[in-house]
Amino acid sequence: MSINIKNISHIRAYFKNAMLRPDLGAIVGVMLVFLFFFLVAHDTGMFSLEGSMNWGIVSSQFIIIAVGACLLMIAGEFDLSVGSMIGFSGIVIAVTSIVWGWPVWLSILTAFAVAMSIGALIGYITVKTNLPSFIVSLAFLYILRGLTIFVAIASTKKTIIGGINEFSQNDWLAPIFGGKIFSGLFEWLAEQGWIQTFVAGTKAGQPVVSGIPAMMVWALGLIIFGHFLLTKTRFGNWIYASGGDAQAARHIGVPVNKVKILMFVFTAFCATVFATTQVIEFGSASADRGILKEFEAIISVVIGGALLTGGYGSVIGAALGAIIFGVVQQGLFFIGVESSLFRVFLGVLLLLAVILNTHVRKLITGSK
Partner 1 sequence: MMSTSPLMELTDIYKSFGNVNALKGVSISINRGECHCLLGDNGAGKSTLIKIMSGVHQPTAGQVNINGKPTVLQGPREAIDSGIATVYQDLALIPLMSVSRNFWLGRELTKKIGPITVMDFEKCNSILMSEMEKIGIQLRDPNQSIGTLSGGERQTVAIARAVFFGAEILILDEPTSALGVYQTSNVLKTVEKVREKGVAVVFISHNVSHALAVGDKFTVLSRGETLGTALAGEINYEELQFMMSGNKELSALKNSK
Distance of CA 328 to the CA centre of its chain: 16
Q: Examine residue 215 and tell whether it contacts partner 1 (CB under 8 A).
A: no
Q: Per rule CB under 8 A, is residue 340 in the interface with partner 1? A: no
Based on the shown chain and the rule CB under 8 A, indicate whether residue 312 belongs to the binding site for partner 1. Answer: yes
Instruction: Select 259 or 319, whichever has its Cβ closest to partner 1.
Output: 259
In whole angstroms, the minimum distance from the beta carbon of 243 to partner 1 comes to: 8
Task: Work out how close the CB of 275 gets to partner 1 at its nearest, in angstroms, rounded to a whole number.
Answer: 28
Classify residue 45 by burial, with Cβ atoms within 10 Å: 0-12, 13-18, 19+. middle
Q: How far apart are CA 91 and CA 97, in angstroms?
A: 10
Long-range contacts of 102-110 (CB under 8 A, 24+ apart): 103/167, 103/171, 104/164, 104/167, 104/168, 104/171, 104/173, 104/174, 105/171, 105/172, 105/173, 105/174, 108/173, 108/174, 108/177, 108/276, 109/173
The dihedrals phi and psi of 315, each to the nearest 5 degrees, come to -65, -40
Among positions 226-285, residues that touch partner 1 (CB under 8 A) are: 232-234, 236-238, 240-241, 244-245, 247-249, 251-254
From candidates 193, 201, 336, 366, binder to partner 1 by CB under 8 A: 366
DSSP 208: S
Cβ proximity to partner 1, 206 vs 365, nearer residue: 365
Q: What is the DSSP string of 281-309?
A: HHS-EETTTTTTHHHHHHHHHHHTT--TT
Interacting residues of 64 by C-beta distance below 8 A, sequence separation 6+ = 215, 218, 219, 222, 270, 273, 274, 277
Residue 187 vs 245, nearer CB to partner 1: 245
Nearer to partner 1, 88 or 266 (CB): 266
> How many H helices and E strands in the chain?
16, 4
Residue 69 or 249: the one with the smaller Cβ distance to partner 1 is: 249
**361 near partner 1, rule: CB under 8 A:** yes
C-beta of 98 vs 241, nearer to partner 1: 241
Torsion of CA 107, 108, 113, 114, to 10 degrees: 60
Which range, of 62-70, 99-107, 161-169, 359-367, touches partner 1 by CB under 8 A?
359-367
Q: How far apart are CA 255 and CA 211, in angstroms?
A: 43
- Residue number with CB closer to partner 1 (131 or 364): 364
Q: Is 196 helix (H, G, I), strand (E, B) or coil?
A: coil
CA 180 to chain centre: 19
At closest approach, how far in Å is the CB of 22 from partner 1? 10
Letter for the amino acid at 128?
A: K
Residue 143 CB, nearest approach to partner 1 (Å): 33
Of 1-40, which residues contact partner 1 (CB under 8 A)? 13, 17, 20
Asked whether position 364 contacts partner 1 by CB under 8 A, the answer is yes
- Tell me the C-alpha distance between 313 and 71, whole Å: 8
Shortest approach of partner 1 to residue 24 CB, angstroms?
A: 15
Q: For partner 1, which is the closer residue by CB, 42 or 359?
A: 359
323 binds partner 1 per the rule CB under 8 A: no
Of the pair 155, 237, the CB lying nearest partner 1 is at 237
Minimum CB separation of residue 282 from partner 1 in Å reads 36
**Residue 305 within binding range of partner 1, rule CB under 8 A:** no
Contact footprint for partner 1 (CB under 8 A): 13, 17, 20, 232-234, 236-238, 240-241, 244-245, 247-249, 251-254, 307, 311-312, 361, 364-367
